[in-house]
Structure 1
Amino acid sequence: MTQIDPQFTERCIEALLFAAAEPLSDVDLAKRLPYGADIQAGIAALRARYEGRGIELVCVANRWRFQTATDLAFLMTEEREEPRRLSKAAQETLAIIAYHQPVTRAEIEAVRGVQASRGTIDVLLELGLVRMRGRRRSPGRPVTLGTTDAFLEHYGLATLSDLPGITEMKAAGLLEMNLPPGFSVPDPLGLRSGEDEDPLEDGDEAPEFAQDFLGELEKG
């Protein structure tokens, strides 16, 4: 039986594990290495060589692989903020709130011509683009909705008076669908003052579509 140079065996194992897409077992290594190579000795030598280094040789489910040293795992963590794309219904609802605020859920439904999904307004509340402003001084005292400073920051607006017209909104991606029947874009300078609403009080019950979201905030 031909004696294989131990250092050559070690280098071969190192190369195979480095290039492998998944951990390799002793059998996998034996299929690649020359007959007579001492795999166990090569593994032991590699483990000793990489001990205390940034990369270490470890056994996972009877298979071998190189991995980042456990105490350096924090260096591999990457935090990225994934932008959350609004659905067409959410964009449309947000546009209505922005141009007609303060506006109630019923008024949103009247403008869109369809029933407002509780999930759609929940998403806008969760993202901080919309807030509950107060209660309308009308039967049932419905809660009114308006935009937030985060809305202005997100769309690069200094004030609500800088809201774009329909053409600009479509170009900016704020409104990517055809306007629903009855939708109009009022003059941003002519937005309601809110004099026909009262501020929310601690004892006020949140509307049904917002209760789940507010409950999560309380848990946090």
Structure 2
Amino acid sequence: MLRLKEHYAPRGVNLVQIEGAWAFRTAADLSFVIRRDENEVKKLSRAALEVLSIIAYHQPVTRAEIEDIRGVQTSRGTLDVLMEAGWVRFRGRRRTPGRPVTLGTTRDFLDHFGLEELRDLPGLEELKGAGLLSGRIPANFNIPSPLMNDELSEDEDPITQMDLEELGLLAPRSTSED
């Protein structure tokens, strides 16, 4: 696969690896040629960008943890937009009182942002260099390294059929046979 990647590198399509899977993508310098104009481009709100960043860097993370980091309440609509885009998913349930749902990013998130894996997310120095972190940064400010694998952490349980029904993602199963 690496030889094929090198073979296609100078061409109009590139072979890229995304979380262990391989895909052909149009070379960045030619993407304008095949772009479809009928797609409606939706801008994410500042809140959605903040929430997406927190999920990407802190996953697995619960809604309460997101709110604690942001310092404000997160609306259900913000999470819905990120899930509809296919960038965020329910990972599991935290083994704490209330069993909150944990959130994480998807392969589509990596693909959309041109990342092979989560460790390719920009670090503190890269964000400063790009001018995305401005003003005075607190001395204790750091950017966590996201988990590299998709497996559940020690304090998470997998999402079950009943969890999906509770979250409104599946219609409840009928208990009686028709």
Same fold by TM (over 0.5)? yes
Larger-gyration structure (1/2): 1
| Equivalent AA in structure 2 for residue 140 of structure 1 | G
TM-score, length basis structure 1: 0.51
* Correspondent of 1:197 among 121, 138, 156: 156
Number of corresponding residues = 134
Q: 8 Å contact 1:105–1:144 — kept in the other structure?
A: yes
TM-score, length basis structure 2: 0.62
More helix by share: 1
> Residues 26-76 of structure 1, C-alpha deviation per residue, up to 9 Å, x if partnerless?
xxxxxxxxxxxxxxxxxxxxxxxxxxxxxxxxxxxxxxxxxxxxxxxxxxx
Superposed, which structure 2 residues align to 1:61-76 within 5 Å? none
RMSD: 3.5
Match of 2:162, SS?
coil
Q: What is the Cα deviation at residue 187 of structure 1?
A: 2.1
Match of 1:203, SS?
helix
| Structure possessing the higher relative contact order (Cα contacts under 8 Å, 6 or more residues apart) | 2
Counterparts of 1:99 and 1:194, CA distance in 2: 15
Counterparts of 2:48 and 2:133, CA distance in 1: 11
Superposed, which structure 2 residues align to 1:123-202 within 5 Å? 123-166=81-124, 168-169=126-127, 184-188=142-146, 194-202=153-161
Gaps of 5+ in 2: 1-35, 172-178
Counterparts of 2:128 and 2:121, CA distance in 1: 12
Q: What is the Cα deviation at residue 195 of structure 1?
A: 2.0
Q: 8 Å contact 1:152–1:160 — kept in the other structure?
A: yes
> Residues 120-141 of structure 1, C-alpha deviation per residue, up to 9 Å, x if partnerless?
1110011100000000011111
Q: Which residue of 2 aligns with 1:101?
A: 59
Q: What is the Cα deviation at residue 117 of structure 1?
A: 1.1
Identity over aligned residues, as a percent?
58
Superposed, which structure 2 residues align to 1:47-126 within 5 Å? 80-126=38-84
